[in-house]
Chain A
């Protein structure tokens, strides 16, 4: 089966709250991870990525945390807004440097932000 999965298929939060979306992976050789946001009827949009030599990376309102000990990846969204409502999924690269074709994608978590 897939080595990338999600703890929660759906997540509902209030506007202004922080959101945390989780992703588990099973391949300890994975060295590159990406989070994508996909709105209905559109293609996935890159949010943030992280390499295995890091455990945290911050972007605008988003933070990705990588815990290699337990093979866990999370995406934190600060002050969640209605426009953040979408499916979020993670991807891992198990192929090493220069092998984007070996990305494995999770099934996604649906985030709903209530006004």
Chain B
């Protein structure tokens, strides 16, 4: 069935290591997004991509990087420069932005713990 797949569900890393979170969608959506969710806070936008081979920084992009080489895939790399990387990371997608506003569809998240 169609949806967004994030993997792995849980990820553990040592401080100082880069780590890449996977996000794949088969909804044929053009736009994809990465959010970070921390306890007691609303979702915060890290990066977004409205079309293949193009992406933009969100509100909290420092210490993160992304790529969008394929329509279906939008991996997020958490670099060692990110000061507080431990969080729940959510990937989302939506249909072509130019077609009007539409809801974001989310994956089930990756919980990253850095020690």
Contact = CB atoms under 8 A, between A and B. Distances in A.
B103 interface: yes
Contacts, number: 67
A98 B100 contact: yes
B96 to A, nearest CB: 8
Interface in B35-93: 40-43, 45, 48, 50, 56, 58, 90, 92
Interface string A14-48: 00000000000000000110101000011111100
Given A43-B90, A44-B90, A101-B56, A107 B106 contact: no
Given A100-B101, A100-B102, A108-B42, A42 B108 contact: yes
Interface in A73-115: 89, 91, 93, 97-101, 103-108
A14 B94 CA distance: 35
A104 B40 CA distance: 15
B8 interface: no
B42 A45 contact: no
Contacts of A64: none
B40 A107 contact: yes
Interface residues of A, number: 28
A93 B42 contact: no
26 contacts: A34-B104, A41-B108, A43-B6, A43-B90, A43-B106, A43-B107, A43-B108, A44-B106, A46-B103, A46-B104, A46-B105, A98-B98, A98-B99, A99-B97, A99-B101, A100-B31, A100-B104, A101-B31, A101-B48, A101-B50, A101-B58, A103-B45, A103-B104, A105-B42, A106-B42, A108-B42
Interface of B: 4, 6, 31, 33, 40-43, 45, 48, 50, 56, 58, 90, 92, 94, 97-109, 111
